[in-house]
Chain A
Amino acid sequence: GQQVMQIPQYQHVQEGEDFTTYCNSSTTLSNIQWYKQRPGGHPVFLIQLVKSGEVKKQKRLTFQFGEAKKNSSLHITATQTTDVGTYFCAGGTNSGGSNYKLTFGKGTLLTVNP
């Protein structure tokens, strides 16, 4: 079945450093979503990417979808303590009709040292 791998599993940075998490799928995706979950909280939707090679920015966050639509990345510039949490990617595949499936990666836990 479809697998979505996310690396790294954990990342600890000093405040002000950059951070990147990568998401790789075993199959071509129709779309990819990114979520953030703060410690003790619930996942919160960040963004969805649909087009091959798409790049979207939200302030210090940059999201990319690979040309082959099998990988994606989330890059945070100049991390802040408010960025702490687990970042999940979720890859969507559609094999026709109502046969859509969304598979979450295991997430990258980001901790930031002030």
Chain B
Amino acid sequence: DSGVTQTPKHLITATGQRVTLRCSPRSGDLSVYWYQQSLDQGLQFLIQYYNGEERAKGNILERFSAQQFPDLHSELNLSSLELGDSALYFCASSVFPFYEQYFGPGTRLTVT
């Protein structure tokens, strides 16, 4: 158990819908990261927050947005969902930006 929690574990939704994935970092970690993992694209970095502020952006689509709240938990919002958005979404946390990252168990999103 890494100490990072993610909810929900599984999510099935239809194209065009909007979903919110939630992540609670390890106690004491200020930095949160979101990754998308699919079979053909591997592990793709989406976005990173540090103490509530966006610090780095990766291959995140405009339909996706995220934020980190004052209690340090983070949410990833995915809208206008497409079939290709079906993937495993991981959240990770670290004490400082890009130090050793601890990954959560992931949310498996299936878009039908």
* Residue among B2, B42, B90 facing the most chain A CB atoms (10 A cut-off): B42
Contact (Cβ within 8 A) A42 B105: yes
Partner of B56, one of A44, A98, A104, A107: A98
Tell me the complex Cα distance, A29–B11, Å. 37
Contact (Cβ within 8 A) B105 A102: no
A106 / chain B contacts, CB cutoff of 8 Å: 42-43
Tell me the complex Cα distance, A103–B41, Å. 13
B interface residues with partner A (beta carbon < 8 Å)? 2, 35, 42-45, 55-56, 58, 90, 92, 97-98, 100-106
Contact (Cβ within 8 A) A107 B98: no
For the complex formed, measure the closest distance between the CB of B23 and the CB atoms of chain A, giving whole angstroms: 12
Given A42-B90, A43-B43, are A100 and B56 neighbors across the interface (CB < 8 Å)? yes
Q: Total interface residues on A, using CB and 8 Å?
A: 19
Contact (Cβ within 8 A) B56 A103: no
B104 / chain A contacts, CB cutoff of 8 Å: 42
Interface CB pairs A-B, < 8 A, 20:
A42-B103, A42-B105, A43-B90, A43-B101, A44-B103, A48-B100, A88-B42, A88-B43, A100-B55, A100-B56, A100-B98, A102-B45, A102-B56, A104-B35, A104-B42, A104-B44, A104-B45, A106-B43, A107-B42, A107-B43
Tell me the complex Cα distance, A73–B102, Å. 22
Contact string against B for A residues 91-114, beta-carbon threshold 8 Å, 1 for contact and 0 otherwise:
010000011111111110000000
Tell me the complex Cα distance, A80–B92, Å. 28
Given A98-B55, A107-B42, A107-B43, are A42 and B106 neighbors across the interface (CB < 8 Å)? yes
Tell me the complex Cα distance, A48–B22, Å. 28
Given A42-B90, A44-B103, A98-B56, are A92 and B98 neighbors across the interface (CB < 8 Å)? yes
